Amino acid sequence: MVTPEEFRAKILEPAKKTEHICWQCKHLKPVITESKLPPADLIGWCTKLHWPFYWCVSEYDVITKCYGFEKK
């Protein structure tokens, strides 16, 4: 039996691979492979720090520590 998070990770492959801590955080909504809409430098959106708005997480500002981090 897989968890909802494991199932989501299986079918929604992220488009980027970076050193961001966000990849282990349950609040990241990643840009998925073959997505055409978002700006090219995004790895995804943080759904926590500026709630109720999404915050764009840039590929080039690598986040290694975050007060909002919560492990998936």
Distance CA 39, CA 47 (A): 17
- Binders of ligand SF4 among residues 36 to 55 (CB under 6 A) are 46, 48-49
Count of residues interacting with ligand SF4 (CB under 6 A): 12
Among the residue ranges 8-16, 19-27, 35-43, the one whose residues contact ligand SF4 (CB under 6 A)? 19-27
Residue with tokens 């980027």: 16
Minimum CB separation of residue 1 from ligand SF4 in Å reads: 26
Minimum CB separation of residue 72 from ligand SF4 in Å reads: 10
